[in-house]
């Protein structure tokens, strides 16, 4: 996967593995989920109003544009959630995924 951000500093921290949309990615211990995502993938989530992809907006917890979901449907704010080993994150609303399974 090719990320939107390129890490240029703090590269000596321990690696943490997580899954984004079924793809395994590596982050660094202490990264926020938003940082990990933007270093690994091109977008943070799909818009709930269309096919557009969103990449976050303020990057500091003010705008509400970085909501993602765990594989179990729990909502997370990517900019304020610290990555944990084994996290499984999806970028589309669970309801949209369930609708696809029903059809």
> pLDDT value at position 19?
95
> pLDDT value at position 57?
67
Whether 45 is covered by a domain: the verdict is yes
Percent of the chain with pLDDT over 90: 34
DSSP SS3 for 36? helix
Q: What is the dihedral of CA 20, 96, 63, 15, to 10 degrees?
A: -10
**Which residue range is the domain that position 39 belongs to?**
15-102
CATH number where 55 lies: 3.10.20.440
For residue 10, pLDDT beyond 90: no
pLDDT tens, position by position, 85-103 = 999 999 887 765 555 555 5
- Is the pLDDT higher at 25 or at 44? 25
Provide the token pair at 11: 């590269």
Whether 42 is covered by a domain: the verdict is yes
> pLDDT value at position 93?
76
The count of domains in the chain is: 1
Could you tell me if 86 and 51 are in contact, meaning their C-beta atoms sit under 8 angstroms apart? no
DSSP secondary structure code for residue 29 in this structure: T
Whether 35 is covered by a domain: the verdict is yes
Whether 7 is covered by a domain: the verdict is no
Whether 93 is covered by a domain: the verdict is yes
Q: What is the mean pLDDT of residues 24-41?
A: 90
Whether 90 is covered by a domain: the verdict is yes
Could you tell me if 20 and 89 are in contact, meaning their C-beta atoms sit under 8 angstroms apart? yes
Q: What's the whole-model pTM score?
A: 0.76
Whether 5 is covered by a domain: the verdict is no
* Confidence tier at 71 by pLDDT (50, 70, 90): confident
């Amino acid at each position: 996967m090719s990320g939107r951000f390129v890490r240029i500093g703090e590269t000596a921290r321990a690696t943490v593995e997580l899954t984004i949309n079924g793809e395994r990615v590596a982050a660094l211990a202490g990264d926020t989920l938003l940082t990990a995502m933007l270093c690994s993938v091109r977008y943070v989530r799909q818009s709930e109003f269309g096919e557009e992809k969103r990449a976050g907006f303020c990057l500091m917890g003010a705008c509400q544009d970085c909501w993602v979901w765990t594989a179990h449907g729990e909502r997370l704010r990517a900019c304020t959630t610290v990555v944990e080993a084994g996290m499984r994150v999806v970028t589309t609303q669970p309801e949209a995924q369930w609708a696809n399974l029903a059809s």
